[in-house]
Amino acid sequence: MLDIKFIRENPELVKENNRHKRAEVDIDQLLKLDEERKTIQPELEGLRNERNKISKTKPDEMEIAEMRKIGEKIKYLEVKFKELEDGITEMMYKIPNIVHPSTPVGPDESGNQVLRKVGEIPKFSFQPKEHWELGKEKDLIDNERAAEIAGARFTYLKGKLAVLQFALISHAISILTDEKYLAKIIKDNNLNVLPTPFIPIIPPVMIKPEVFQRMARLEPKEERYYIPSDDVYLIGSAEHTLGPIHMDETLDEKTIPLRYMGVSLAFRREAGSYGKDTKGILRVHQFDKIEMESFSLPENSVEEQNFFVAVQEELMKTLKLPYQIVQICTGDMGGPDARQIDLETWMPGQNKYRETHTSDLMTDYQSRRLKTKIRRKDGSLELAHMNDATAFAIGRTLIAIMENYQQEDGTILVPEVLRKYVGFEKF
RNA sequence: GGAAGGGUGGCAGAGUGGUCGAAUGCACCAGUCUUGAAAACUGGCGCCCUUUUACGAGGGCCGUGAGUUCGAAUCUCACCCCUUCCGCCA
């Protein structure tokens, strides 16, 4: 959510930002409601003041009769006031975050910009296969049985491929919790952030609707799994339950940046993607993902995102997977984002780059509703800035490994850094 | 699932219808003292909204929402959460 004061003072900027982000909210109508609220509020508060004054002492009969009338007026105005507030809040929820100046303006993914390509695209002496072919041939992926048991877009991840998943988790933990390693990443990339290690977390995979709304992640609802008997949603990312971990709390500046890495299942209905990526495990309803989340001071949050991207790149470099970094344009980015940067990994079977990572700078858009604040050394309060990014979307990383490391004899090599975790060199 | 107890400021913990935004202690901040620190002493110290150049003024907030009342932290109802015991269970 944006600050209503900011909207009052910068209506044209907000309207333009809405256009770029393809959000339709009637800002003039919002400001009109806001004006109405501002006329009712003093009236309401004046009446309350009157009541409070008299209620300080025991009133006589006459005063009690008068108070009754005032009470009725107050009640009437309260209802009106609440209606206005609800209307305003509803509109406020729909207004996306103001984008960072570096974000390119564009209508859809055609406006995204590739910032850099890293790593050598592997050359094969044979026709490289797609991951689902390899998965089927080597009995590593079984979508057919999964479809019978759970439905389309589910999978059984089997054998050594399943083992590899745990190796990726161990590998990510070993880097993200290593202060010295993080310091090196920071130095190598000329970044100005502290090397504070990430705290590993296994978060809940269910979330209450109110919290989901406050995270600005409840929408699009059709993408979420909902369990009516308990009024909870399944998370679509560990971000969804990591972000509100400090809801209604004030953090001490001493603990900032506060970084978490969450390992969890992610559930997505994939509504509207029927017929897209139907084979294999690229797009499934349930997958494991390692996520980074951090709380930082406003002046450091952009650099924090740069750090997150640097960590993502480091992770992919250690796996020796070629990738490109893409800056997402206004029309293609998430509503809460001020700046979004994706990492796309080369998939030889498909002969193209596919999204494996994303990183979102939310500034104070989420923390305003979550009420996650930071108390500075001088005692002042400030909304925390929040960043969120993928460390490994495990399924897609496994795809990248399978396709990039496939050999002519049909085996798949294990990336060197993962071998110590799995105990085999190929499979 | 059953039973009981409970949710008050950063923490602990008073407060059962009116001068309570809330005692007290701890923590924290500033100062005195001290070479310095500690201790002691003095003072300060919640959040949000409206208004004001500022000083200030007003309103709201005692888990959440609704209700009773002239007036609610305090009474009623619903919901959420926590603790303990029993049951079940990875």
Among A70, A94, A118, the domain boundary falls at A94
Domain count, chain A: 2
Sheet containing strand A250-252, edge to edge, reads A250-252, A373-375, A381-383
For A363, the enclosing helix (H) or strand (E) is strand A352-363
Q: CA of A102 and C1' of B76: distance in angstroms?
A: 57
Tell me, what's the ipTM? Answer: 0.83
Cβ(A315)–Cβ(A295) under 8 Å? no
The string of pLDDT tens digits covering residues A221-231 is: 889 998 887 78
CATH number of the domain within which A27 lies: 1.10.287.40
Residues A149 and A44 grouped into a single domain: no
Q: Torsion angle of alpha carbons A109, A341, A325, A103, nearest 10°?
A: 70
Residues A197 and A69 grouped into a single domain: no
Cβ(A143)–Cβ(A278) under 8 Å? no
Whether A103 is covered by a domain: the verdict is no
Strand B–CB A71 distance below 7 A: yes
Taking the CA atoms of A406, A407, A413 and A416 in sequence, report the sign of the dihedral they define: negative
- Sorted by sequence, the CB contacts under 8 Å of residue A69 that are 6+ apart come out as none
pLDDT at A78: 86
Among A32, A61, A94, the domain boundary falls at A94
A163-181: average pLDDT: 96
Residue A286: closest CA among A233, A225, A220: A225
Residue A220: closest CA among A86, A385, A94: A94
Assigned token pair, A16: 């333009």
pLDDT at A57: 66
> Does residue A59 surpass a pLDDT of 70?
no
Strand B–CB A229 distance below 7 A: no
Whether A100 is covered by a domain: the verdict is no
The string of pLDDT tens digits covering residues A267-296 is: 999 887 777 888 889 999 999 999 999 999
Residues A354 and A256 grouped into a single domain: yes
Residues A89 and A117 grouped into a single domain: no
Q: CA of A377 and C1' of B35: distance in angstroms?
A: 28
Whether A383 is covered by a domain: the verdict is yes
Residues A36 and A133 grouped into a single domain: no
Among A71, A94, A117, the domain boundary falls at A94
The string of pLDDT tens digits covering residues A298-347 is: 989 999 999 999 999 999 999 999 999 999 999 999 899 999 999 999 99
Residue A284: closest CA among A184, A153, A93, A168: A153
Collapsing DSSP to helix, strand or coil, A334 comes out as: coil
Strand B–CB A8 distance below 7 A: no
Residues A17 and A53 grouped into a single domain: yes
What DSSP string runs through A86-128?
Answer: HHHHHHHHHSPPPPPTTSPP-SSGGG-EEEEEESPPP--SS-P
CATH number of the domain within which A200 lies: 3.30.930.10
Percent of all residues in chain A with a pLDDT value above 90, rounded to a whole number: 64
Strand B–CB A38 distance below 7 A: yes
Residues A244 and A353 grouped into a single domain: yes
Residues A167 and A278 grouped into a single domain: yes
Residues A118 and A242 grouped into a single domain: yes
pLDDT at A380: 79
Whether A101 is covered by a domain: the verdict is no
Whether A157 is covered by a domain: the verdict is yes
Residues A90 and A144 grouped into a single domain: no
Whether A326 is covered by a domain: the verdict is yes
The string of pLDDT tens digits covering residues A75-99 is: 888 888 888 888 898 899 899 999 9
pLDDT at A305: 97
Strand B–CB A31 distance below 7 A: no
Lowest mean pLDDT among A114-123, A138-147, A369-378, A416-425: A369-378
Residues A85 and A149 grouped into a single domain: no
A206-220: average pLDDT: 87
Which single residue has its CA nearest the C1' atom of nucleotide B69?
A68
Whether A102 is covered by a domain: the verdict is no
The more confident residue out of A50 and A333 is A333
Strand B–CB A58 distance below 7 A: yes
Whether A427 is covered by a domain: the verdict is no
Residues A34 and A147 grouped into a single domain: no
For A206, the enclosing helix (H) or strand (E) is strand A206-207
Residue with tokens 């850099």: A116
Nearest nt (C1') from A58 Cα: B18
Residue-range definition of the domain harbouring residue A267: 109-422
Strand B–CB A102 distance below 7 A: no
Q: CA of A236 and C1' of B61: distance in angstroms?
A: 34
- Nucleotides on chain B that have an atom closer than 7 A to a protein CB are 10, 18-19, 47-51, 58-60, 66, 69-71
> Does residue A261 surpass a pLDDT of 90?
yes
Report how far residue A15's alpha carbon sits from residue A24's, in angstroms, rounded to the nearest whole number.
9
